[in-house]
């Protein structure tokens, strides 16, 4: 089975071209391929599927095998995959069907390859803040859905937080029966937003596209930042705009191919086909 490893701001996924059919047991495959010691190593698995409603379909599985409904960094890399591999010639209004609806992509090229991608992430849904007990403290969280569930916690000193303790406690808090992605957010003195993310099913990641959108939405609604700002994540920066005119979120950021390989699932034999930096 051929695969491509891609990343957006260090949020990395193994991509499978499933336009000709899906492999069996995707949750188990996601766990095996995501393993950073015995597998390829990734935050999860993304399948590029055929779609009757859009140019392509996307299914995303977290590193623990659970299926997510949407992935912001992942959908940008999917845009790069399908263009760079010649599966489409579209650079604007490229449509991708996800479990939370169809998303629209605009691709920006350099030297004929996709460098960055703008995604219309649709309209966010904000719920009233909730108070949650975790790790011996009370936290105020703003639930936001951007096609998948998030809880945004505003706090100072995000760099110093112990996410390994806080993340699992909030992800699995009884207030969120389906578990939740958690963003720890802090506005900076330049009008930007600093965010660390604990992802449902994958743990702390270097970035989360839907998480950046959820954090911007909650922060703009609270008057902490403007509706168009830079979100700083450990893996880099995303530009997010919450448009006044239609209430949609627009996210722009990079998409990178890391390497390509082949795996024989019977004997767990991995082979690198194209090395890092051989493809953009
Ligand atoms: N990393 C993604 C989100 C992936 C899915 C998420 N963990 C979930 O379970 O909802 C992003 O960039 O948005």
Residue 274 has pLDDT above 80, yes or no: no
Q: What is the pLDDT of residue 126?
A: 98
Q: Is 208 a catalytic residue?
A: yes
Question: Nearest 5°: CA angle at 238, between 153 and 47?
Answer: 95
Cβ(121)–Cβ(239) under 8 Å? no
209 lines ligand 1 (CB under 6 A): yes
Q: d(Cα 251, Cα 12) in Å, to the nearest integer? A: 17
Q: Which helix (H) or strand (E) holds 75?
A: helix 72-84
73 lines ligand 1 (CB under 6 A): yes
Q: What is the pLDDT of residue 278?
A: 52
User: In this predicted model, what pLDDT tens digit does every residue of 143-197 receive, in sequence order?
Assistant: 999 999 999 999 999 999 999 999 999 999 999 999 999 999 999 888 999 999 9
Q: d(Cα 251, Cα 199) in Å, to the nearest integer? A: 18
Residue 280 has pLDDT above 60, yes or no: no
Q: How far is the CA of 69 from the centre of ligand 1 (A)?
A: 8
Give, in order, the Cα–Cα distances in Å from 107 to each of 42, 121, 161, 223. Answer: 24, 14, 36, 31
7 lines ligand 1 (CB under 6 A): no
Mean pLDDT of 234-244: 98
ipTM comes to: 0.99
Q: How confident is the model at residue 217 (pLDDT cuts 50, 70, 90)?
A: very high
User: In this predicted model, what pLDDT tens digit does every residue of 247-259 receive, in sequence order?
Assistant: 999 999 999 999 9
Sorted by sequence, the CB contacts under 8 Å of residue 20 that are 6+ apart come out as none
Residue 250: beta bridge partners?
120, 241
Nearest CA to ligand 1 atom 4: 71
Catalytic residue among 71, 77, 155, 272: 71
Q: How far is the CA of 199 from the centre of ligand 1 (A)?
A: 6
Mean pLDDT of 22-40: 96
Q: How far is the CA of 203 from the centre of ligand 1 (A)?
A: 10
Q: d(Cα 276, Cα 274) in Å, to the nearest integer? A: 7
Mean pLDDT of 193-221: 98
Q: Which residue has the tokens 């991509």?
A: 15
Q: At what angle do helices 72-84 and 209-221 cross, to 10 degrees?
A: 130
Give the domains, in start order, of the chain with CATH numbers. Answer: 2-119+256-262 (3.10.310.10), 125-247 (3.10.310.10)
- Could you tell me whether strands 125-126 and 113-122 are parallel, antiparallel, or unpaired per DSSP bridges? unpaired
Q: What is the pLDDT of residue 265?
A: 75
Mean pLDDT of 217-241: 98
Q: Which helix (H) or strand (E) holds 6?
A: strand 2-8
4 lines ligand 1 (CB under 6 A): no
Residue 15 CA neighbour count, 13 Å, CB half: 31
């Amino acid at each position: 089975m051929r695969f491509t490893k891609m990343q957006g701001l260090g949020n990395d996924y193994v991509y499978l071209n499933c336009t000709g059919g899906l492999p069996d047991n995707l949750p188990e495959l996601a766990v095996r391929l995501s393993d950073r010691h015995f597998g390829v190593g990734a935050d999860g698995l993304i399948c590029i599927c055929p779609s009757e409603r859009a140019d392509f379909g996307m299914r995303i599985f977290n590193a623990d095998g659970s299926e997510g409904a949407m992935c912001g960094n992942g959908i940008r890399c999917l845009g790069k995959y399908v263009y760079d591999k010649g599966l489409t010639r579209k650079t604007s209004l490229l449509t991708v069907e996800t479990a939370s609806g169809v998303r629209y992509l605009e691709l920006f090229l350099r030297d004929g390859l996709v460098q960055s991608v703008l995604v219309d992430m649709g309209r966010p849904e904000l719920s009233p803040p909730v108070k949650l007990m975790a790790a011996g403290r009370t936290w105020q969280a703003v639930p936001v859905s951007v096609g998948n569930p998030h809880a945004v916690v505003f706090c100072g000193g995000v760099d110093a937080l112990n996410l390994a303790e806080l993340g699992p406690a909030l992800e699995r808090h009884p207030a969120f029966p389906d578990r939740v992605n958690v963003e720890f957010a802090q506005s900076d003195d330049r009008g930007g937003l600093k965010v660390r993310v604990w992802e449902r099913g994958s743990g702390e990641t270097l970035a989360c596209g839907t998480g950046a959108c959820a954090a911007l939405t909650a922060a703009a609604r609270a008057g902490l930042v403007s509706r168009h700002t830079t979100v700083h994540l450990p893996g880099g920066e995303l530009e997010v705009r919450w448009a006044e005119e239609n209430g949609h979120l627009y996210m722009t950021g990079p998409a990178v191919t890391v390497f390509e390989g082949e795996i024989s699932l019977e004997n767990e034999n991995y082979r690198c086909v194209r090395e890092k930096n051989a493809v953009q």
